[in-house]
Amino acid sequence: QDYGLSQQFALPNRISLTAGTEPRQFRLVDVPLEVRPERYIVPSLSQQAFLRAEVTSEASAPLLPGIARVFLGPDYLGESSFPLMRQGDSTMLNLGIDPNLSVVYELVLDQRDNPGVLSSTVRHNYIYEAKLKLSASAKNEIDVLIEEVLPIAQDDRIKIAPYRMHAGYLDSEQDQQDREERGIWRWRMKMRPGAELELRWGYVASFNEKLTPVIDR
C-alpha cells in the first residue's frame, strides 16, 4: 500500500530468521520497467558516446529509492541511483561510455565573406562535421541522439542563421522551443553494427564590418 510518504509491503512468503546470522534478502515485489536505451552525443563537447536509458515504472507498487545493479543483457554495467518511482514515473539512468561507438568531430569550413562595394555587412560561415562509426562487434542496432548548440546573438546588430543543417532534425514543439530559446538542435538516428554516419551542421554570422563580435562556439 502506498501512503504517499510511506509504503507498506506484504511479504509474499513467511520467513524464519535465526539469531546471530547474516541478514537475509528476500523478494518484496516485482516492478516491471520499460527501458529505452540510447547513445547520447554532443560532438563539439566530447568525442565519446554516452550510454543512457530512460526508465519508466509500469508497476502499481512503488519502486523504493536506492542503489540498483544495472545489467544490459548478460553484461553488468555497474550501479546507478534510482529515485522513488510510482506507476508512470520516469527517470534517466546514465550508464557510462559506450566503447563500440566512435566519434570524430572537426570544423570543415571557417570562411569570412567581406562586404561588397554597396554593402557594409560581413558574413562569417561555419560548418562542422561529426563522423560516427559503430563497431561491427556491437550486438544490436542502436538509437543515437545527437545534440549541438548554435550561438544565440545577444546584440540586435548581429544576426545568426542556421546553415546547411543535416536533414531530419527533431521538430516537436519542445524541440522548436529549445532551438529558438537555447539554440539546441537534435537528431535521432539508428545505426546497425558496422555502420558509419556523417552529420553536418553550421551557421552564418552577419554583422557590420565595424563590429568585432566574440562568437562562443
pLDDT tens-digit series, residues 75-87: 777 788 889 888 8
Contact 197, 187 (CB under 8 A): no
- In a structure prediction context, what are the per-residue pLDDT tens digits for the chain, which is 217 residues long? 777 777 777 777 787 888 887 887 777 778 888 989 999 999 999 999 999 999 999 988 888 888 888 877 777 777 888 898 888 999 998 888 999 999 999 999 999 988 877 788 999 999 999 999 999 999 889 999 999 999 998 888 999 999 999 999 999 999 999 999 999 999 999 999 999 999 999 999 999 888 877 776 6
Output the pLDDT for position 78.
Answer: 79
Distance CA 144, CA 191 (A): 7
Output the pLDDT for position 217.
Answer: 60
Output the pLDDT for position 169.
Answer: 96
Output the pLDDT for position 159.
Answer: 93
Where does residue 95 rank: exposed (0-12), middle (13-18), buried (19+ CB within 10 A)?
middle
Output the pLDDT for position 216.
Answer: 67
Output the pLDDT for position 123.
Answer: 92
Output the pLDDT for position 96.
Answer: 86
Contact 9, 61 (CB under 8 A): yes
Strand, coil or helix: 36: strand
Where does residue 38 rank: exposed (0-12), middle (13-18), buried (19+ CB within 10 A)?
middle
Output the pLDDT for position 100.
Answer: 94
Q: In this structure, which amino acid lies at residue 130?
A: A
Selection from 85, 13, 3, 97 nearest residue 49 by Cα: 97
Distance CA 206, CA 122 (A): 6
Our separate counts of H helices and E strands in the chain read 1, 10
Q: How many CA atoms lie within 13 A of 146 on its CB side?
A: 27
pLDDT tens-digit series, residues 52-101: 999 999 988 888 888 888 877 777 777 888 898 888 999 998 888 999 99
